[in-house]
Amino acid sequence: MSRLLRVARTRLVDEALALRVVQLLCFAAGPPVLILAARALTRYGASPAELVIGLLAACAVCLLCVILGVVLPLTRR
């Protein structure tokens, strides 16, 4: 059991590298969410109210991804 715990505690990559990779993934995930949501809503044939609500929700997810990418470096300090 102690061998398993020791293997689980080993670091595969440096913390700074992992932080930077996750930050870039957050920045890269925001815009495609918005684009895919807009395409899905237009293909679905949503009513104008559903379109507005869906696009607002997609904007919120996009902004949250970007905000998470901005806030991540602050957690290291």
Tens of pLDDT, residues 38-61: 999 889 888 999 999 999 999 999
The span from the CA of 63 to the CA of 14, in Å, is 28
List the domain range (segments joined by +) for residue 68: 16-76
Quick check: is 3 in a domain?
A: no
Quick check: is 58 in a domain?
A: yes
Quick check: is 31 in a domain?
A: yes
Quick check: is 40 in a domain?
A: yes
pTM of the full structure: 0.75
Quick check: is 49 in a domain?
A: yes
The span from the CA of 10 to the CA of 25, in Å, is 23
Q: What angle do CA 33, 28, 52 make, to 5 degrees?
A: 25
Query: In the prediction, which pLDDT does 55 show?
Result: 93
Q: How many domains does the chain have?
A: 1
Quick check: is 35 in a domain?
A: yes
Q: Within 13 A of 50's CA, how many CA atoms are on the CB side?
A: 9
The span from the CA of 11 to the CA of 14, in Å, is 7
Q: How many residues does the chain have?
A: 77
Quick check: is 11 in a domain?
A: no
